[in-house]
């Protein structure tokens, strides 16, 4: 009877941990994404052009005042949120550091991936970050994450920011950045759908296995929620873009 009671207590405890440290954070992450996207969508077309539109790769720039204003705000908030997330991590406030770092990563992606390439310096435009031309940078960034993990170079708050930024970047990259490698064999629609579904399903399976068999801490479950977030996001983005 005592063993059964202990097992029931363990099950209830596990369910509570999954609810508050995985499922609800997962919903919060999608809510944060929406809250970051809405002002960007509202502001990016507002105001006059600060310079003439140009073709960068296969896309035309739209360097409006509103997009520039959002970019500046996003960059400032990225710095502030990352700083505060790091301070919260020092105090073992896992939720605060996770969500602030996660938000900071999205803001950094919006600034670099969605905004910077619309503007030029001396007539020279930045390169879209999800394009194939940034492949060496992507490799170096992954090596940085591996090095940081091995040598414990970053605190939890900074890790959440880096992981969030990497997830948003790689979520685009598995489709747009890799397509030129297969463009002669596969049409864009097919590649976007297949690449997003394959990578998303693999990521989803890994996040569930990681959650059920590898995780024993709150930070681990929060990380699993972020893995699930990007897996679902990649599949949704690929189907919409495809």
Tens digits of per-residue pLDDT, 5-29?
A: 443 443 455 888 999 999 999 999 9
Band (171; pLDDT cuts 50, 70, 90): confident
Dihedral sign, Cα of residue 153, residue 154, residue 159, residue 163:
negative
Q: Which domain holds residue 90?
A: 2-241
| Domain count within the chain | 1
Q: Provide the 8-state DSSP code for 176.
A: I
How far is CA 223 from each of CA 94, 208, 220, rounded to the nearest angstrom? 11, 11, 5
Q: So what's the pLDDT on residue 242? A: 58
Cβ atoms of residues 169 and 138 within 8 Å: yes
Q: Kindly state the tokens that stand for 141.
A: 């960034």
186-211 pLDDT tens trace: 998 899 999 999 999 999 999 999 99
What does the alpha-carbon distance between residue 200 and residue 178 come to, in Å, rounded to a whole number? 15
Q: Kindly state the tokens that stand for 238.
A: 């690929």
Beta bridge partners of 55: 60
**φ, ψ at 59 (rounded to 5°):** -120, 150
**φ, ψ at 48 (rounded to 5°):** -80, 170
Cβ atoms of residues 161 and 101 within 8 Å: yes
| Residue 9 burial (10 A CB sphere; 0-12, 13-18, 19+) | exposed
Average pLDDT, the chain: 90
Give 148's contacts (C-beta < 8 A, 6+ positions apart).
Answer: 154, 159, 162
pTM above 0.85, yes or no: yes
Q: So what's the pLDDT on residue 7? A: 34
87-118 pLDDT tens trace: 999 999 999 999 999 999 999 999 999 999 99
Q: So what's the pLDDT on residue 66? A: 97
Q: Mean per-residue pLDDT for 158-164?
A: 96
Band (1; pLDDT cuts 50, 70, 90): very low
- For residue 121, the Cα-to-chain-centroid distance in whole angstroms is 27
Give 26's contacts (C-beta < 8 A, 6+ positions apart).
Answer: 225, 228, 229
The pairing of beta strand 55-56 with beta strand 59-60: antiparallel
Q: So what's the pLDDT on residue 82? A: 98
């Amino acid at each position: 009877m005592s063993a059964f009671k202990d097992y029931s207590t363990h099950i209830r405890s596990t369910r509570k941990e999954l609810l508050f440290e995985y499922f609800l954070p997962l919903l919060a992450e999608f809510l944060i994404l929406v809250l970051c996207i809405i002002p960007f969508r509202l502001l990016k077309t507002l105001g006059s052009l600060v310079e003439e539109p140009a073709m960068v790769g296969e896309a035309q720039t739209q360097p409006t005042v509103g997009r520039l204003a959002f970019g500046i705000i996003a960059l400032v908030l990225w710095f502030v949120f990352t700083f505060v997330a790091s301070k919260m991590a020092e105090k073992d406030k896992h939720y605060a550091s996770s969500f602030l770092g996660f938000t900071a990563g999205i803001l950094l992606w919006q600034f670099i991936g969605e905004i910077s390439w619309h503007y030029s310096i001396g007539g020279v435009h930045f390169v879209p970050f999800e394009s194939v031309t940034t492949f060496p940078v992507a490799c170096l960034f992954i090596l940085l994450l591996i090095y940081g993990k091995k040598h414990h170079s970053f605190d939890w708050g900074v890790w959440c920011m880096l992981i969030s930024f990497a997830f948003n970047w790689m979520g685009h990259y598995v489709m747009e950045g890799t397509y030129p490698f297969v463009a002669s064999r596969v049409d864009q629609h097919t590649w976007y759908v297949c690449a997003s579904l394959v990578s998303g399903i693999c990521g989803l399976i890994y996040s569930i296995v990681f959650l059920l068999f590898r995780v024993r801490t709150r930070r681990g479950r929060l990380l699993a929620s972020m893995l699930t977030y990007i897996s679902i996001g990649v599949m949704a983005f690929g189907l919409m873009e495809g």
